[in-house]
Amino acid sequence: MLVPKKILVVDDKANVRDLLREYMSRQGFAVVTAVNGREAIYAARHEQPDVILLDIMMPEMDGYEFLRQYRRERSVPVIVLTARDEESDAVLGLELGADDYVLKPFRMQELAARVRAVLRRAEPPDPTRAPLRVGELVLDDGAHIVTVRGAAVTLTPTEFNLLRALMTSAGQTLTRQQLADRLSEEGYGGLDRTLNVHIRNLRTKIEADPDQPKYIETVFGVGYRLAKPE
C-alpha cells in the first residue's frame, strides 16, 4: 500500500490551517498542523513531514526563526506562504533556505502544483549515476552529497537540482527559461521568479568569494553558466 506524502501546515490562523488540511487531504496527502514556529519544530522532528507549508508572521516563533533552526537539521522542502504586500518577506525566507513561496490569497490548485513540484525535486536520486566533477566541486547524485574542496555542503532540494543542471552543462550558458524548464513541470513557473535568490544561495555555499564567483557565472541578459576552472 502506497504511503501518502505528509504535509506540515504552519500558520497561526485556524481558518487557513483548516482550509489547507481539508483540501490537501482530498488531494491524497496526510496533513499535520502547527500554530507557530516553536510548535512546528516539535512537529517536524516527530512527524517527519515530506514538505512544509510555512507562514512567516506568527507569535512565539516566526517563520524566519523556524527556518534558521530547522535548516540546521534537515533539507525537507519548504514553501513560504505570505501576503502579496509582504513579498519581500518571502524573499528573505528563500535566503534562509525555503524552496519556493506562494502569495496569499492563493489558488488551491496552484499551491498543490507547487507542493508536487518541490516533492519531485526532493525525490531520491539515481544511485547508478556517476558523480559530476568540475574543478574542486563534486556532486554525487547517488549519495545526494555535494563537496567543495573536499568539504561537504548542505543544499536544499531546489539548490541541489539547480547545481546538477548547471554542472551537467558545464561550460555552456543556460537561459533562465532553460533552467526553469529543467527543474519544473509544464504549468509550474515558480522557479523563474525565485531563480536569482537560489543562485545567490548556491554561490554563498560553494564559492570561496560569492561576490567574485569562480564557478557560477552570470551571463547578463541571458542566464547563467557553470565555468570550468583552468
Mean pLDDT of 202-224: 92
On whether the CB atoms of residues 52 and 76 are closer than 8 A, the answer is yes
> Which stretches within 76-134 are classed as H helix?
87-95, 108-121
Reduced to 3 states (helix: H, G, I; strand: E, B; else coil), residue 206 is: helix
Terminal-residue alpha carbon distance, the chain: 51
In the chain, residues under CATH classification 3.40.50.2300 are: 6-121
Least confident interval from 21-35, 117-131, 187-201:
187-201
User: What pLDDT was estimated at residue 1?
Assistant: 61
C-alpha cell at 45: 522532528
pTM reported for the whole predicted model: 0.71
The CATH code that applies to domain 132-226 is 1.10.10.10
User: What pLDDT was estimated at residue 188?
Assistant: 40
On whether the CB atoms of residues 28 and 112 are closer than 8 A, the answer is no
In the chain, residues under CATH classification 1.10.10.10 are: 132-226
Handedness of CA 189, 194, 199, 201 (dihedral sign): negative
Classify domain 6-121 at the CATH topology level.
Rossmann fold (3.40.50)
